[in-house]
């Protein structure tokens, strides 16, 4: 038995097994070290409210660095430009988001941007369980605050029906509303009547 154990093939196998076990020991130490490290602090820069017009440009690319940024804007809603987006959850209940077009004051207007030279942004104003509960947006000048989010993708080969949208998709909404828009939308947190 000792004669078999001293053959070069078996000695090489023993060295290989020791090397592999050493690698596993080092990996387990690394894993344990990672599990005991403190978490990286969450960036709070997105929680500081900034003016929408300084954060994002209409008609352009939506950079990931501004996703989830709290923004504010002054403008007004068009009650004729409102849709419901079905399939949205609120505390486990399915319902609808109320999404309205918000004309942003002092936003740069885009050439060929629809029937009006105004620049708009879709605003998810709230959630309702029943479409009959959806109310018109507030009138007059509004001071809006909310979270800036990237446009969703429309659902392909889907006709949601009149007054509905398949998603909060800027591409889908600007075609329905015939307006120029920012490349994202705002999930509203406050809507205050301005002066």
SS3 annotation, 104-143: ECCCCCCCCCECCCCEEEEEEEEEECCHHHCCCCCCCCEE
Same domain, 10 and 103: no
Same domain, 79 and 168: yes
Domain range for 154 is: 45-193
SS3 1: coil
Same domain, 111 and 26: no
Q: Considering the entire predicted model, what is its pTM?
A: 0.74
Cα→Cα distances 12→15, 17, 20, 181, Å: 5, 9, 12, 69
Same domain, 81 and 18: no
What per-residue confidence (pLDDT) applies to 42? 63
Sequence-distant (≥ 6) Cβ neighbours of residue 166 within 8 angstroms: 85, 154, 155, 158, 160, 172
Q: What is the pLDDT along the chain (195 residues), one digit of tens a residue?
A: 777 777 888 888 889 999 999 999 999 998 988 888 777 666 677 889 999 999 999 888 899 889 999 999 999 999 999 999 999 999 999 999 999 999 999 888 766 545 557 899 999 999 999 999 999 999 999 999 999 999 999 888 777 788 899 999 999 999 889 988 999 999 999 999 875
The one-character DSSP state at 179 is B
Same domain, 184 and 133: yes
Is 40 inside a domain boundary? no
Is 154 inside a domain boundary? yes
Number of domains in the chain: 2
Q: How far is CA 9 from the centre of its chain?
A: 59
Q: Residue 164: left (phi > 0), alpha (psi -120 to 50), or beta?
A: beta
Neighbours of 143 (CB within 10 A): 14
Same domain, 164 and 131: yes
Same domain, 21 and 114: no
Same domain, 143 and 63: yes
SS3 164: strand
Same domain, 81 and 25: no
Is 109 inside a domain boundary? yes
């Amino acid at each position: 038995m000792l004669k078999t154990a001293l053959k070069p093939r078996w000695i090489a196998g023993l060295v290989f097994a020791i090397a592999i076990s050493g690698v596993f020991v080092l990996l387990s130490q690394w894993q344990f070290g990672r599990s005991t490290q403190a978490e990286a602090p969450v960036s709070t820069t997105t929680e500081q409210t900034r003016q929408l017009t300084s954060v994002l440009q209409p008609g352009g690319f939506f950079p990931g660095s501004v996703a989830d940024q709290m923004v504010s804007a002054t403008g007004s809603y068009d009650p004729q430009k409102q849709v419901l987006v079905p399939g949205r959850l609120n505390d486990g209940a399915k319902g609808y988001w109320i999404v309205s077009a918000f004309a942003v004051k002092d936003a740069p207007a885009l050439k060929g941007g629809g029937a009006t030279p105004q620049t708009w942004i879709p605003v998810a104003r709230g959630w309702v369980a029943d479409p009959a509960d959806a109310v018109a947006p507030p009138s007059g000048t509004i001071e809006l605050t909310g979270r800036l989010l990237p446009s969703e993708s429309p659902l392909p080969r889907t006709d949601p029906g009149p007054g509905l949208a398949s998603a909060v998709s800027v591409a889908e909404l600007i075609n329905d509303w015939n307006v120029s828009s920012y490349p994202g939308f705002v999930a509203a947190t406050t809507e205050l009547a301005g002066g």
